[in-house]
Amino acid sequence: MNFSESFFAARFGIETRDLQHYLSEALSQGGDYADLYFEYLATSSISIDEGIVKSATQGVSLGVGIRVISGERTGYAYSDDLDPDKIRKAARVAACIASGPAKVESTGLHEGVRRNLYPVLTAPTETGLHERVELVKRADRAARAYDSRIFQVNAMYADSLRHVLVATSEGVLNYDRQPLARMNVSVLARQRDGRPQSGYDGGGGRVELTYFDTHTPEQFAREAARQAIVQLDAVEAPAGEMTVVLGPGWPGVMLHEAVGHGLEADFNRKKTSAFSDRIGELVASPLCTVVDDGTIDSRRGSLNVDDEGNPTQRNVLIENGVLRGYLQDQLSSRIMGASPTGSGRRESYEHIPMPRMTNTFMLAGESDPEDIIRSVPKGLYCVNFGGGQVDITSGNFVFSASESYLIEDGKITRPVRNATLIGNGPEALRHVSMVGHDLKLDQGVGMCGKEGQSVPVGVGIPTVRIDKMTVGGTA
């Protein structure tokens, strides 16, 4: 496919010379760099509650964001109308950041090398609504059938299809079609008149609807129900420093908070991260290698190109414990004199791109997961988490365990109630003493928020033993 057959050219008649005009307008007051980000987003969502499909929505939004960079300054404007006059007006508003005559000659636009990490012929958003509504109905039935103590089921299915087009004053012209689908199931369980407990599971990716033939609503429903039933017997979580074992998969959210955010280049360029100026230093146990990889087929966090037109790649953040690199966007890489890493992302055309993660995970080690559990005389085994948060500057981060168990004498014993775990980014991974061979990525439901912008991401981790971490229970 070439540009003339691409979505925005075919549907809105946009030609490369239009793009060049807009870029020239954006740079008419000077500036070092300008880019255009066209976005067309179609979404649908369907949810079931109390066995009734009470809510479903579909819709479209469309617009273009225009950015001008002058030194460390950014001018930004957007339009939700692709009328050429409206786009030129937005370009002039963005141009106000720069002052003086035009310096940059916009070169010709060249299409980037194309690849497809998500070769989805028919995006879920393009399929019939009747097929999709069945998914939530099946989840509802399966969760209720799992155990008579399940008394509420809420299942949600959501998909989107995003078409993007990026053109820059450096001649980059790239476009992409980005499908995304997920479903999740939340349940409540209750033992007679006892207090209710909740369970949650879900999955998805940049996939066709057939993905849910093998990752079935029934599996998500049963897993959510299992978690809620387990919690019925949970005891108070312990409080204070102890050995923590993280199970494989979603607990990788710890890496996202502990090191991922702190390695985003904007914070490091401004020297406001606890990891600033520490490239080459040992910040983790030599057992730890952490990567951010936007190129894994069909994953929720993957992209063919980032939202600045650069191809995504596999970035090594920490290698055998040593801090190796930052996640760059266009602005930070220009200022720091570094190469882009394909990490420039934004929530929509209304937002300025920032360095962001894609799929962040720790590589597998050599330990047997069962040996890791057996090695702990007293500690906590955390299998599932809710979200987390980090204070980039001090490096303190938290993540909340939604399913965890006491380890006593090397054995998993009782489930404990929800508790938050807290640590310090550059310190926490130094206490990693065993890394399992069972690397697992999460199932594809993660969202990451930064400065008011949400983007889909993935995480992953093998079973890991951390000798010292503070657990926020009450016992």
Tell me 247's DSSP state: P
Amino acid at residue number 234: A
- Give the nearest distance from C-beta 253 to other proteins in angstroms: 11
Measured in residues, the chain has a length of 475
Based on CB atoms, which residue is closest to other proteins, 186 or 289?
186
Based on CB atoms, which residue is closest to other proteins, 107 or 389?
389
Contacts of 93 (CB under 8 A, 6+ apart): 66, 75, 77
Contact 58, 44 (CB under 8 A): yes
Using a 10 angstrom Cβ sphere, with 0-12 exposed, 13-18 middle and 19 or more buried, the burial of residue 2 is exposed
- Residues 440-460 as b/e (b if ≥16 CB within 10 A, e otherwise) read bbbbbbbebebeebebbbbbb
In the beta sheet, which residues pair with residue 449?
Answer: 454
Tell me 258's DSSP state: I
- Give the nearest distance from C-beta 370 to other proteins in angstroms: 28
Give the 3-state secondary structure percentages of the chain, helix then strand then coil, rounded to 5.
25, 40, 35
Based on CB atoms, which residue is closest to other proteins, 180 or 291?
180
- Give the nearest distance from C-beta 376 to other proteins in angstroms: 19
Based on CB atoms, which residue is closest to other proteins, 28 or 198?
198
d(CA 356, CA 292): 10
Three-state SS at 308: coil
d(CA 244, CA 69): 45
Based on CB atoms, which residue is closest to other proteins, 153 or 245?
153
Could you count the other beta carbons within 10 Å of the beta carbon of residue 280? 9
d(CA 330, CA 409): 51
- Give the nearest distance from C-beta 272 to other proteins in angstroms: 5
- Give the nearest distance from C-beta 40 to other proteins in angstroms: 10
Based on CB atoms, which residue is closest to other proteins, 217 or 369?
217
- Give the nearest distance from C-beta 371 to other proteins in angstroms: 28
Based on CB atoms, which residue is closest to other proteins, 15 or 241?
241
- Give the nearest distance from C-beta 212 to other proteins in angstroms: 16
